[in-house]
């Protein structure tokens, strides 16, 4: 792991724990795998330019998306010193969905690297961080980035409903009401009782810890 440690400046191991937004996360095996793939990508990154070249490595990109290491990617955005690495992490973070790390990504809006600021704006759009985008739209010196950060005006619901209705084709429905068919072997008296609420809560908390990488 020495190569990864040198690249990220962090002890890349499954037991590594870190905090984001006041919550503790554990890197875990999936996070280590994602950062290993990210390291392979950054080694082929051009010194300048957009991320279009990643089409050649779509297999690795899709695996990172499948792992969905949102917390690990934000850790890289927050701690890494290499702008190419941060740019890739921001781009991938936007493709993973959710809202985690929007505040960290928004801090990149003051970077002197235009590509990094542009990817940050794209990521923030996917994270629906509209307040941060409004600030970028007002302050960024680059017109393309300001355009990326400009939120499209919302279309009123009545207008969207009218447009949807125009695309519908009218058909007469049958006046007959279908009956309910029940098997003679069906029984409604011997089903399993519902699980207690406490057990359901424990299951959901376990799923949350697994998703956050903090389960033991």
Q: What is the pLDDT of residues 120-158, one digit of tens each?
A: 999 999 998 999 999 999 999 999 999 999 977 667 888
Task: Kindly give the pairing relationship between strand 23-26 and strand 17-20.
Answer: antiparallel
User: What's the pLDDT score for residue 116?
Assistant: 92
What residues of the chain score a pLDDT lower than 50?
A: none
What is the rounded CA–CA span in Å between residue 16 and residue 26?
6
Q: Are 120 and 145 in contact (CB under 8 A)?
A: no
User: What's the pLDDT score for residue 63?
Assistant: 93
Residue 19 per-residue DSSP state? E
Average pLDDT, the chain: 84
Name residues whose C-beta falls within 8 Å of residue 50's C-beta, 6 or more positions apart in sequence: 115, 118
pTM, two decimal places? 0.66
Name residues whose C-beta falls within 8 Å of residue 93's C-beta, 6 or more positions apart in sequence: 70, 73, 74, 77, 101, 105, 123, 127
Name the nearest CA neighbour of 14 among 1, 31, 36, 2. 31
User: What's the pLDDT score for residue 177?
Assistant: 65
**Residue 60, both tokens:** 């690795």
Q: Are 102 and 124 in contact (CB under 8 A)?
A: yes
CA distances in angstroms from 140 to 4, 86, 115, 119, listed in the order given: 33, 19, 13, 13
Name the nearest CA neighbour of 215 among 21, 114, 183, 204. 204
N- to C-terminal Cα separation, the chain: 22
Helices (H), ranges, the chain: 2-8, 28-42, 58-67, 70-79, 83-96, 102-106, 114-126, 130-139, 143-149, 157-166, 197-212
């Amino acid at each position: 792991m020495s190569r990864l440690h040198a690249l990220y400046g962090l002890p890349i191991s499954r037991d590594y724990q870190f905090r984001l937004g006041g919550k503790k996360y554990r890197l875990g095996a999936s996070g280590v795998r994602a950062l290993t793939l990210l390291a392979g990508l950054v080694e082929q990154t051009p010194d300048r330019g957009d991320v279009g070249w990643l089409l050649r490595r779509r297999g690795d990109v899709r695996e990172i998306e499948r792992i969905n290491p949102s917390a690990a990617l934000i850790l890289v955005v927050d701690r890494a010193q290499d702008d190419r690495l941060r740019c890739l992490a921001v781009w991938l973070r936007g493709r993973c969905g959710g809202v985690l790390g929007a505040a960290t990504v928004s801090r990149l809006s003051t970077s002197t690297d235009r590509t990094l600021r542009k990817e940050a704006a794209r990521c923030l759009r996917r994270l629906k961080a509209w307040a941060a985008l409004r600030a970028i739209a007002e302050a960024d010196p680059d017109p393309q980035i300001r355009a990326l950060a400009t939120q499209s005006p919302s279309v009123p619901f009545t207008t969207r409903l009218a447009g949807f209705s125009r695309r519908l084709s009218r058909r007469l429905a049958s006046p007959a009401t279908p009956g309910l068919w029940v098997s003679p072997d069906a029984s409604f008296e011997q089903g399993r009782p519902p699980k207690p609420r406490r057990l359901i809560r424990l299951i959901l908390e376990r799923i949350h810890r697994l998703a956050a990488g903090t389960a033991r």
